[in-house]
Amino acid sequence: MLRIVHLIDDTNPGGVTRYLDFIAADAAMARLATHVVVPVSRTRPATAPIEADVIVSHLTVSWRGLPGLMLLRARFPNTPLVHVEHSYCAGFAAARVTAPGRFQTLLRCAYALFDRVVAVSAAQADWLVRRGLVAPSVLEMIRPCVALDAFRALPVPGGSVRTIGAIGRFDQQKGFDLLIRAFRAVSDPDLRLQLIGDGPERAALETLAAGDPRISLPGFAADPAMAMSGCDLVAMPSRWEPYGLIALEAMAARRPLLVANVDGLKDHIANGAVAVEEMTVEAWASAIVRARAGMRMPATDMSAEAACVDGWARLVADLLDRATEADVARRTGRAEVGLA
């Protein structure tokens, strides 16, 4: 059976890890291929024992890691290589990149080593093409997924919004500091804000929340569906977000969803997420007040898993067709040389 090896350099709990759990465990993905997740060094991925028909990188591209990607390509010259871009997007570049030319050179050099580059959202795909980082002929767009049945099984919240949930890594990227400030600007004593997760910004967030008993930080949730069950509304004030699996889960759970109008979060707006147009305390405080008065329920997308599987099936079929054509060309070329 076809063997696809997925290389990962971060095994901490998070969206990428859960996406790979879905890929490895989903029955439809299993019919497509045997999927094996291999943790590797970010700078030396080629040193890992890899036996694969297709290799998929979920690694974070960096200048330090570029020689390792070059070695990976050299070690597997005839194996289709795919890179899934989980980290970078227009919002990241605007917020964190101080040398745009150097950054774009890095991405062009890294992506050129792969047969395909997979964007995780339409907005990210548009940015990659618009900046000339990936040729359209090499780019695929496959939205990530996780197992959603547990979210779909949650009871729909009744009545008005009382508990707002923000779920994810406590990092500047997620904008939870802004959300706390906006929440504190809303005086409604019946509202609650839960920040569910952990990360390097925990102490700073606890300081921002101090003195407001309506705000709690219960910690990391091993069961994301159980964590979401206690939320009447989910807020995602991310400063950048290539896709945003929490949004997909919230909509599967039929929770109203507030999102920043950035990057891959734009993909969720068409399904019923409500965009907060400005990343200001005032805009998010106003959005919270409007949500308290009532928000429409997002559409329930019953096809997210199937769409993800179909995307991978098309990509793998195309890669193997091209690999077969290249192999025939190589063998034909050798035969012609021998005849000469």
Residue 144 β-bridge partners: none
pLDDT at 330 over 80: no
Q: CA of 154: how far to CAs of 92, 157, 225, 253, 299, in Å?
A: 33, 9, 8, 6, 15
Q: CA of 230: how far to CAs of 18, 160, 196, 207, in Å?
A: 21, 14, 11, 24
Q: Which two tokens stand for residue 270?
A: 């068409």
Tell me the DSSP string of 20-36: HHHHHH-HHHHHH-EEE
Which residues touch 3 (CB under 8 Å, ≥6 apart)?
A: 33, 34, 36, 51, 52, 53, 54
Q: Are 234 and 165 in contact (CB under 8 A)?
A: yes
Residue 247 β-bridge partners: none
Each residue's pLDDT tens digit, 271-317:
889 999 999 999 999 999 999 887 766 666 668 999 999 999 999 99
Each residue's pLDDT tens digit, 125-146:
999 999 999 999 999 999 999 9
**What pLDDT is recorded for position 327?**
62
Residue 6 β-bridge partners: 37, 56
- pTM of the complete model: 0.92
Each residue's pLDDT tens digit, 170-226:
999 999 999 999 999 999 999 999 999 999 999 999 999 999 999 999 999 989 999
Each residue's pLDDT tens digit, 12-30:
877 899 999 999 999 999 9
List domains and CATH numbers for the chain.
3-141 (3.40.50.2000), 149-293 (3.40.50.2000)
**What pLDDT is recorded for position 320?**
87
Q: CA of 74: how far to CAs of 81, 163, 190, 262, 326, in Å?
A: 11, 53, 61, 37, 17
**What pLDDT is recorded for position 14?**
79
**What pLDDT is recorded for position 159?**
82
The SS3 assignment for 219 reads: strand
The more confidently predicted of residues 14 and 330 is: 14
Burial state string for 109-138 with b = 16 or more CB within 10 A and e = fewer than 16: ebbebbbbbbbbbebbbebbeeeebbeeeb
